[in-house]
Amino acid sequence: MNGIMNMGLPKLFEMLERDSEWVNYYYDVENKFPHLSASIGKKPQNMPKNRYCNVWPWNHSRVVLGRSPDYINASHIKSPIVNHQYIASQEPLSGRNESTKDDFWRMVWEQNCSVIIMLNDPSENNSYNSAKYYPYFPTGQQDYTEYTGKEGIKVSLLSREIKNCYFYSKLELSLEGKPPREIHHLQYKGWGDYEVPDSAATEFFEFLKEARDLFESYPGPPIVHCSAGVGRTGTFILADVILEIAKERKSLNVDVKEVLEKLREQRMWLVQTPDQIRFCFMAIVEGVKKLDLTEFAEDRVNV
């Protein structure tokens, strides 16, 4: 893999594909950060609020709720170079600790978030993953048009569109009698845990582009989540960040490994499999073509 540091994204993708190097490329990305601590997420009182026993937010980047208890399994993410911000979060829990649904909506309110990107199916694997934290129209079931939680939280469904590979819902969020806010909720279809989407990279890029348009049109950091908020969430954020860096610097030579390491220093385990990083590259290459970035320079971009 000599010369990889001076190779543009499309050429790098071609080389990794030709030489079947995705496993080596993926495991060459640093995933251990002994200087960082996740001790707050490991506290006994907070462990029931974690979906998995080995995925916690780093202390330095965790989202802190504005009341006690202040813990939620979510992390602030700031991208290098372009300075875009995200919140990467696990999906609220069902059954074991449904208070995480109210924690989630309080986070949306306090962080002034306007866009939520959901990358998992609410009924995947088993009912434990199905938090049903937002109102929607489930197929073959009674309409679910409003969620009412504690602390004066109320979420109402305003509209719902079925797109090619995702659902687009407009929600209204109100908290403690304050004026309501409109929330844009995009749920991607057909993306299993530890897997890549059923849809092609072309469709995923169109979803990414729709999301980016919303990010730039409405205030606050977007919330991106899957079940744990690391694998699929990391794949989405990494693809968006790389394309934004390429546009900002007018260069296709972006060090994806270095960018992913910087993102993992803000939330552990982002992008969980070689297949996910391969799909991320596929979406990036599709974006390079669709955004007409193919004429950009190949000079090195440091992050």
Instruction: Return the active site residues.
Output: 226
- In the chain, at which residue ranges do the beta strands (DSSP E only) sit? 62-64, 71-78, 85-90, 115-118, 146-148, 153-162, 166-175, 181-188, 223-226, 251-254, 297-301
Token match 């700031």: residue?
78
The whole-angstrom separation of Cα 285 and Cα 294 is 9
Tokens of 16: 């990794």
Q: Supply angle C-alpha 243, 27, 77, rounded to 5.
A: 45
DSSP 179: P
What's the number of CA atoms in the CB half-sphere (13 Å) around residue 285? 18
SS3 content of the chain, % helix, strand, coil (to 5): 35, 20, 45
Residue 161: strand, helix, or coil? strand
Listing from the earlier edge strand, what are the strands of the sheet with 166-175?
Answer: 62-64, 71-78, 85-90, 223-226, 115-118, 181-188, 166-175, 153-162, 146-148
